[in-house]
Structures are given as structure tokens and as C-alpha cells.
Amino acid sequence: SALPSFKQMCAGQAPRPEDGDSPASLRVLLVDDDATTRHMLEGVLGDSLGHTVQSAGSGEEALATALQFMPQVVVTDWLMPGMSGIELCRALRATDWGQTIYIIMLSGIDTRDEATEAFEAGADDFVAKPVDLRTLRARLRAAWRYVHLLDAWETDRAQLRQFAAELAISNRRLSHAAMTDQLTGLPNRRAGMSELEKAWSASGRAVQPMAVLVIDVDHFKRINDSYGHAVGDHVLREVAQTLQQSARREDVVCRLGGEEFLMVCANTDLRAALGAGERLRKLVAALAIKVGGHEIQLSISIGIAAREASMTDADMLVNAADRALYRAKEGGRNRSCI
């Protein structure tokens, strides 16, 4: 698969702006009520540092612009008529899309209290005015680093989501394969036992009857011996198909192994189970399977048991059906016994 291993995904390198000549361009929204300051900073951010800059003259305008422009970084003045930089900061953080914007707060007064207030409002950085080129370049490196870590994280997350989705599909395939008999496509023994347990507990809770049929092909060894193993396999597939297609929708037919099958019948008493068994037996006896110029006829014997109050688990039920099967074989085969 082209997907990276979990280890590879976890070993992703953090981006290092120092490595490149200059950090890649950021989308920067510049907010200041003073046109001169705005003009100066636009020159610094855009022309000198090469970022993509849009500017706004007020907090309100900044919010509207941000929604269109989706800036990665907002550089905002603090004191503005109307919405202040602090209020803009809070407003951005209150939106979904504003959570991850890197906000740099500018201020004329550089006091510890002001910086704290800015950080409390959700700012990521605080820069005293007047702002010089060197300071701003240094601060934007931190912003760049943050933006690129965020990108890398989002890419990883998307990859992980895809990885998880593919894993779920492959798990479903695997568990289906683990529950399916390769030769016949029927549920295998494991799946059959799980169906049996399900039906057992459902019938126990609801005090409903349930029955099982253990089905064995008669003298199957002779078919193998006369026509070969491949023909034997073909015959098994035909029998499996007949059993599955003729069973009621709510009955589960599985291949226990070899030429032996189990049918689990929920909501079925002994009488109804015997009726179902006889129907299946006659259908199989009427088959004439054509392989390589031969017409193969065969029969099945069926042992049937219904749940009884004395039974404490599903194994006891299947054992009772096994004993009935033995009687069917002893009695001459091609028959159902209870």
C-alpha cells in the first residue's frame, strides 16, 4: 500500500524556517485605523517580506475581510475607534475558522499588564509600537512556524483519516473471510457456532423454541474415490447451494467441515424442524449433478434436535442432533432422525 506506516507518520519533521532562504509567503491581514501606519506596515509585510497582505481600517472591517480572505496571520492595532484590537481578537476566537489564525497584537504602550490582557483575549504575540522591520520579521518567523506546523498537522490528520478508513474496509474484508468457508461460500464453523450461540440466547430470553439440523452426505468417500477430489468438491458446492437456497430466510446453514453441515433454526419446534429436514433431504436426493459426462446422485442423512428445558447450553443441543444423525446413518442413511 502507498500509505505510510504509523511510525513514519509519527516521525514527521517539524518545519524549520531557518533552513530556507526566506519563509514562504503568508496571508496576512493588517488592521490599523491610522492610514500612515497601515501604509508603512503594508510596505514592510508585503514588499519587503513578500507576504500576501490585505488591510482593514477598523475591527469591524477586519472581521468582514477575514471571512473572505481567510488570513493565516492577523496583525492588529489595539486602540481603534469602534471595535478595539482586543475585541477583534475575542470575536475571531469565538468563530470556528478564527481559532487557528495567528494573531499579533500591536500597541503603543508596552507594559506587562497590556501584554497579559492581549494574551488573555487570545492573541499569540504582542509587539510594541513603533514597530521596526527587524522586530516584525522576527515575529513573523514564529507565525510562519506555527502556520506550517498547523498545515503539517492537518495533512497528517487527513492521512490518518484515510488510513483509518482503509483499515476499516480491510478489517471488514478480513472478518468476512474469517467467517466464510472457502469451498462453498457458506458461513464456516466459526460463523455457525456464533449464530448458534446467538439463537440460543435469543430463544432462552424469549422462551421460544429452536432447533438444529446436523446434515451429513451419505457415502461421500465413494464419490471422491470414484470421480476424484475435484468432482467431490464440486458436489459439495452443489449440495451447499441446494441447502442454502432451500432453507428459510431466517435459518442459517453453515459448513461444519468435510461433508457435514449445520442448520440453525430459530423459532422452530421439533415438528417444524423435521418438516424442514425432510424437505431438504428430498431435494438433495432428487439432484442429478452433471460433471464430466457423469450424473452423480447422492443423499444426505439428517440428525435433528430441538431445545429442551434440561439443556443448559447450545453444545448439548448439537450433541443431541449428532446422536440423531448417528441413528439416521445406522437406520440406513437418506433419512431424518430426531
| Residues forming the active site | 259
- 66-89 in b/e form (b: 16+ CB < 10 A) is beebebbbbbbbbebeebbbbbbb
CA 126 to chain centre: 43
Taking CB under 6 A as the criterion, the residue among 217, 273, 305, 317 binding ligand GH3 is 217
Q: Tell me whether residue 27 or residue 333 sits nearer to ligand GH3 (CB atom).
A: 333
Q: Indicate whether 329 belongs to the interface with ligand GH3 (CB under 6 A).
A: yes
Interface pick for Mg ion out of 124, 181, 216, 251 (rule CB under 5 A): 216
**Residue ranges in 19-38 that form contacts with Mg ion under rule CB under 5 A:** 33
168 binds ligand GH3 (CB under 6 A): no
Nearest to 240 by CA among 221, 223, 253, 225: 253
- Using rule CB under 6 A, residue 335 touches ligand GH3: no
Q: Which of 15, 187, 232, 303 binds ligand GH3 (CB under 6 A)?
A: 232
Which residue in 308, 212, 298, 188 sits closest to 263, CA to CA?
212
236 binds ligand GH3 (CB under 6 A): yes
Residue 154 in the binding site for ligand GH3 (CB under 6 A): no
**333 binds ligand GH3, rule: CB under 6 A:** yes
Distance CA 11, CA 29 (A): 33
| Torsion sign across C-alpha atoms 114, 120, 121, 122 | positive
In the stretch 174-213, what mask flags binding to ligand GH3 with x, by CB under 6 A?
Answer: ---------x------------------------------
Q: What is the DSSP string of 61-99?
A: HHHHHHHHH--SEEEEES--SSS-HHHHHHHHHTSSTTT
Residue nearest to ligand GH3 (CB): 232
Distance CA 206, CA 108 (A): 78
Our finding on whether 290 is near ligand GH3 (CB under 6 A) is no
How many chain residues bind ligand GH3 (CB under 6 A)?
Answer: 16
Residues that bind ligand GH3 (CB under 6 A): 183, 216-221, 224, 229, 232-233, 236, 258-259, 329, 333
